[in-house]
Structure 1
Amino acid sequence: MKHCVVTTFHEAGYQQYGKRCIESFLIKWPDTVSMLVYPEKTSVSFSEPRLQLIDPLVALPKLQQFKSSYYDNPFANGTNPIVPEQTNNFRWDAYRFSNKVFAVTDAIRRCHGTFDQLIWLDADTVTHTVIPEEFLDKMAPNARQLAAYLNRRGYPECGWVGYNLNHPEILNFANRFEQIYLSGEFLTFKENHDSYIFWEIVQEMEQAKKATFKELGSRWQTGHIFIKSALGKYVDHLKGGRKIEGRSKERDTLSFTRKLPRFLKQSFSK
């Protein structure tokens, strides 16, 4: 399979974790894998053939349209619509996470027809162990699955999502993802960050029998599912204070392999 990776970050994020994400990617990922980077008003110091730097201000007019429409809407900028006194909450911060949404949809279209799998990788990840190409193949959705994601109890962890670029519904997925934000429909959902909207589309497509999906996590687990999954053998997701510490906490790594599907058990144990 042919794989490519996409990520995005702002200036502070680049300095704190994005630089480390790119550097570890270049060292630890197979040479055959490319990365698309959408830096938000940020100068990136890397210049490598495997990296494609894409300016969101130029390449993502729909993102700029969304930001122009909702930059001053409190319910798109962290305010709880049920308890308006509660602000700065990521669950209702569509404006912040829109950079990720429109980078993903643009990358799907750019890579469609050239690659088999597009992997969204949060920039606050670090690859600590060399990744075999066959592992990427194993984590990828199969021919009938539109995406592979880290499921857990409730909405998923979207620090890693593998998209099947050969699926007949992949472009419709990208259009739907964008339109939920551009139309303002995101304001009607219980939460409006990217992971919650992704989860709503997954359920919508499954119910309509338009697509199936591969689950990489565990329905019994909550919280920091990334490091507990098979992905944790190669990549660490530095959520929250872990960005400063540079690694996940010891309690994060407690194994749940006895509850994993067989194909993931095998990947985790190798």
Structure 2
Amino acid sequence: MLLSKFWPATKLRHVVVTTFHEKGYNEYGKRCIETFLEYWPSDVALWVYAEDVRVEISDPRVTVFDHNATLPKLQVFRRLYKDNPSANGQNPKKKKAEYNFRWDAIRFSNKVFAVTDAIRRAHGIADQLIWLDADTVTHRELPHSLIDKLAPRGRQLSAYLNRMSYPECGWVGYNLNHMKIMDFAERFEQSYLSGDFLKLKENHDSYVFWKIVTAMEKDREAKFKFLGSRFARGHIFINSVLGGYMDHLKGDRKAEGKSRASDLSKKRSELWWS
């Protein structure tokens, strides 16, 4: 269900998409939307896939989709794998193991199906779709020039925060004008619906994304823009250029409301970090 919409007369340059459930909205999602409206350019739209929660914030820039009504493929995936331990945080190589997000495809599939649905909806009406994790706080005015600079262009299908291992996917830019963007969306979905995700070393969204884009680059189907560093480890989001404008509250940082000084690999001068 579409609760509000923001359609300017001309083609949108950027659309941001995120998703959360009721607990997530109360803990961090509401703050994400509020700081987006305060600091992002006024012509950038925000699309929210809300699961079992009413978003009380009303603004023409914010479009809210009913998660359950608009993501039927996600519901199919959940039904298929809800009882599979290897899709719910259980290391398939261990009979008894503590929960590990690396094998929680169910938990992170929300993000995957929201992205693929948004790609299809935004295709033809926007140039770039930006995935932004809902536990992100914008703390400084984000200039249009930076968003344009970070955007994938030409043969670049996507722009993401690369590092030594799989990417940090708290921010991912998608080039909606790329000839292979719809193919990417289909492959991302089918990696889950087909069960192929169970064949991978890990099956959370960042790892599956990485495997797909690596294959596409190897086969010369697309190029990609790297926003991180192949030498980087850890909390790369706040140590990239994005950290000057946003804070990604990964894990228990959500409760703290801010990332830690120890997360920074170098001193930052922005007021947020002082």
| TM-score (ref. length: structure 1) | 0.93
Distance 1:51 1:210 in 2: 33
Counterpart for residue 193 of structure 1: 204
**Does 2:27 align with 1:16?**
yes
Counterpart for residue 104 of structure 1: 115
Counterpart for residue 89 of structure 1: 100
Return the match for 1:41 from 52, 59, 72. Answer: 52
C-alpha distance 18-127 of structure 1, shift in aligned 2 (>3 A): same
Q: Secondary structure at the match of 1:54?
A: strand
Q: Say whether the 8 Å CA contact 1:228–1:256 is kept in structure 2.
A: no
Displacement after TM superposition at 1:253 (Å)? 2.1
Distance 2:95 2:174 in 1: 36
Counterpart for residue 186 of structure 2: 175
Instruction: Provide Cα deviations, 1:119-141, integer angstroms capped at 9, x if missing partner.
Output: 00000000000001111000101
Distance 1:87 1:250 in 2: 29
Distance 2:266 2:154 in 1: 29
Task: State the number of aligned residues.
Answer: 257
**Does 2:67 align with 1:56?**
yes
Distance 1:228 1:43 in 2: 33
Displacement after TM superposition at 1:254 (Å)? 2.2
Q: Say whether the 8 Å CA contact 1:77–1:96 is kept in structure 2.
A: yes
Distance 1:139 1:84 in 2: 43
Counterpart for residue 127 of structure 1: 138
| TM-score (ref. length: structure 2) | 0.92
Return the match for 2:41 from 22, 25, 30. Answer: 30
Distance 1:224 1:104 in 2: 22
Residue 155 of structure 1 aligns to which amino acid in structure 2?
Answer: Y
**Does 2:17 align with 1:6?**
yes
Greater mean alpha carbon deviation, residues 125-134 or residues 246-255: 246-255
**Does 2:61 align with 1:74?**
no
Displacement after TM superposition at 1:245 (Å)? 1.4
Q: Secondary structure at the match of 1:138?
A: helix
Displacement after TM superposition at 1:87 (Å)? 3.6
Q: Say whether the 8 Å CA contact 1:39–1:56 is kept in structure 2.
A: yes
Distance 1:141 1:187 in 2: 30
Question: Matches of residues 218-229 of structure 1 in structure 2 within 5 Å?
Answer: 218-229=229-240
Q: Secondary structure at the match of 2:225?
A: strand
Displacement after TM superposition at 1:256 (Å)? 9.6
Instruction: Provide Cα deviations, 1:41-83, integer angstroms capped at 9, x if missing partner.
Output: 1111111111111112111110111011111111100000011
Return the match for 1:161 from 172, 185, 206. Answer: 172
Distance 1:256 1:203 in 2: 32
Instruction: Provide Cα deviations, 1:191-222, integer angstroms capped at 9, x if missing partner.
Output: 00000000000111011100010000011111
Displacement after TM superposition at 1:117 (Å)? 0.5
Q: Secondary structure at the match of 1:48?
A: coil
Distance 1:83 1:197 in 2: 21
Counterpart for residue 156 of structure 2: 145
Residue 245 of structure 2 aligns to which amino acid in structure 1?
Answer: Y
**Does 2:256 align with 1:250?**
no
Q: Point out 4+ residue stretches in structure 1 off by more than 6 angstroms.
A: none
Distance 1:79 1:237 in 2: 26
